[in-house]
Chain A
Amino acid sequence: MSYNWNWGIFFQLSPDGTHTYAQLLLFGAGWTLATALSAWLIALTIGSFIGVLRTAPSPWLVRLGNAYVELFRNIPLLVQMFLWYFVLPEVVPEVIGDWLKQITNASFYNAVVCLGLYTSARVAEQVKAGILSLRSGQRMAGLAVGLTLPQTYRYVLLPMAFRIILPPLTSEFLNIIKNSSIALTIGLVELTAAARSMQEFSFQVFEAFTGATVIYIVINIVVVNGMQLIERRVAVPGFISMGRPAAAH
């Protein structure tokens, strides 16, 4: 292969004059994690709410929840990113639109909201599956001992459902980290974008991408092991513990 390898490039000064290329990648990783974690908070909160809605006794609430999930699942994430970033400021009243355009770090907030809502639809799917996998006797028992329906969800159904869906939720969390790379299209300098700019400035394509790949793998390993630790700690004795995260992306 006629390619000039230069692994020392990571310790050379980047064009910003103060940081090395390695630091540039680490800053990118920082943005990746900040985006993914903030979006995950939104995804988990709204996703749990919508998931519960989809198991509610009212058919209208179920339909509403289903429509929400279908809306976010059937539009490519990149298109959603553009809708939030380019289209939303134009279709809201002008005052709000102007304000939206002037926010500092607008691409970060956009990415967080977009990723959060997109992933919330996928979390909702898991939460629903988790609740439906419980025997109907659990709900009935909760109601029979005098709990209200919200209390039954809070104290009986959800604590079990969340334990059951921990492995698929781990997959979704890994997905949100990977999907945050799509925010580079709206100007967020996360890990992939940092690798891309390192490549453009230094012309060391494969070193830059190898660096980013290694960081992604490390993040992956940390998340998977961390979640397994949590899984073991919250496991309910008597229930067979769940395996490794399933394939999804």
Chain B
Amino acid sequence: MFTNIDWDVILRSLPYLFFDGMRFTVTLTLLATAVGIVIGTVLAMLRLSNLPGLSLVAGSYVNLIRSMPLVLVIFWFFFLVPYIGQWVTGGSRPIQVGAFWSALVTFTLFEAAYFCEIMRAGIQSIPRGQVQAGQALGMSYATTMGYIILPQAFRNMVPVLLTQTIILFQDTSLVYVISVTDFLGAASKIAQRDGRLVEMYLFAAIIYFVISLAASRGVRRLQHRIAIIH
């Protein structure tokens, strides 16, 4: 038990693990969160709107994505994104976009569905009277949303959005299935190259654990600080 363990392999690969692997993981998490929240908010507003066509499309998109496993969505977009690229640029052949862009598009569009549900709950948590008050003052829909509803909805939902971001941080490890070198991918490559599966996977687990635990503790503190009483 634990014979033949070489902890030195971790030390030797630290720069690769963090500067290559973790940087990819964090970049992907942050970009997908930022863009995902924007798209998710738009989807939520569409879902709650009175525009019958658009609200149906947004709702169907969200339900479709949420009924699929992330691994399948990653495969879908891995093969679909080149064709989308071709369609957007009007080229004659599918465009090779590279692993990073493929992963970014996938996670952004996947998370947008989950952020949509969070923002929808946030918008619905604001009493309807506020919308009517805005309208009574002569504000347009955009002004009411932008200045009154969304800032409060967003504030109420910050802890949930952040918790979702921690889940996303863990979920980015699934880019493994398209052989992208994120933090786990880097650990896995070294593990296979040096035959050090035990050391590398345990180390990866500890790092994910420490970061996620610290982040979720932070979120819990924030939750107590920013809670608004209605």
A residues sitting closer than 8 Å to B (CB atoms) are 1-3, 70-71, 73-80, 82-83, 86-87, 90-93, 174, 177-182, 184-185, 192, 195-196, 199, 205-206, 209, 212-213, 216-217, 220, 247, 249
A74 to B209, Cβ gap below 8 A? yes
Report 12 cross-chain contacts, Cβ distance below 8 Å, ordered by A residue.
Answer: A2-B86, A74-B170, A76-B171, A76-B173, A87-B197, A92-B1, A174-B67, A178-B69, A181-B71, A182-B69, A206-B80, A209-B79
**A174 CA / B75 CA spacing, docked (Å):** 20
Q: What 6 A-B pairs have minimum CB-CB distances, sorted nearest first? A: A74-B212, A181-B69, A247-B117, A76-B170, A178-B69, A220-B67
**A102 CA / B135 CA spacing, docked (Å):** 70
B177 to A79, Cβ gap below 8 A? no
Q: Residues of B contacting A178 with CB < 8 Å?
A: 67-70
A3 to B72, Cβ gap below 8 A? no
B residues sitting closer than 8 Å to A (CB atoms) are 1-2, 64, 66-72, 75-76, 79-80, 83, 86-87, 92-94, 114, 117-118, 121, 167, 170-171, 173-174, 176-177, 184, 188, 197-198, 201-202, 204-205, 208-209, 212-213, 216
**A192 CA / B86 CA spacing, docked (Å):** 26
**Set A1, A180, A249: member contacting B83, Cβ < 8 A:** A1
**Set B1, B87, B184, B204: member contacting A1, Cβ < 8 A:** B87
B75 to A78, Cβ gap below 8 A? no
**Set B67, B93, B197: member contacting A2, Cβ < 8 A:** B93
**A149 CA / B211 CA spacing, docked (Å):** 38
A78 to B209, Cβ gap below 8 A? no
Interface on chain B toward A: helix, strand, loop, or mixed SS?
helix
Q: Residues of B contacting A177 with CB < 8 Å?
A: 69
**A129 CA / B173 CA spacing, docked (Å):** 29
**A220 CA / B67 CA spacing, docked (Å):** 6
A209 to B212, Cβ gap below 8 A? no
**A125 CA / B173 CA spacing, docked (Å):** 24
Q: Residues of B contacting A179 with CB < 8 Å?
A: 69
**A82 CA / B94 CA spacing, docked (Å):** 34
**Set B117, B174, B213: member contacting A70, Cβ < 8 A:** B213
**A151 CA / B144 CA spacing, docked (Å):** 54
Given contacts A1-B87, A78-B174, A83-B205, contact A90 B68 (CB under 8 A): no
A209 to B76, Cβ gap below 8 A? yes
Q: Which residue of B lies closest to A174 (CB)?
A: B67
Q: Which residue of A lies closest to B160 (CB)?
A: A247
Q: Which residue of A lies closest to B4 (CB)?
A: A90
CB distance from A87 to the nearest CB of B (A): 5
B83 to A247, Cβ gap below 8 A? no
**A247 CA / B161 CA spacing, docked (Å):** 12
Given contacts A2-B93, A209-B75, A216-B69, contact A71 B209 (CB under 8 A): yes
Given contacts A76-B170, A79-B173, A178-B68, contact A87 B1 (CB under 8 A): no
**A3 CA / B94 CA spacing, docked (Å):** 9
Given contacts A78-B174, A79-B173, A182-B174, contact A192 B204 (CB under 8 A): no
CB distance from B54 to the nearest CB of A (A): 20
**A83 CA / B184 CA spacing, docked (Å):** 12
Q: Residues of B contacting A220 with CB < 8 Å?
A: 67
Q: Residues of A contacting B87 with CB < 8 Å?
A: 1
A78 to B184, Cβ gap below 8 A? yes
Q: Residues of A contacting B216 with CB < 8 Å?
A: 73-74
Q: Residues of B contacting A93 with CB < 8 Å?
A: 1
**A192 CA / B94 CA spacing, docked (Å):** 24
Q: Which of A91, A174, A247 has the most CB of B within 10 A?
A: A247
Q: Which of A70, A76, A83, A93 has the most CB of B within 10 A?
A: A76
Q: Residues of A contacting B70 with CB < 8 Å?
A: 178, 181, 249
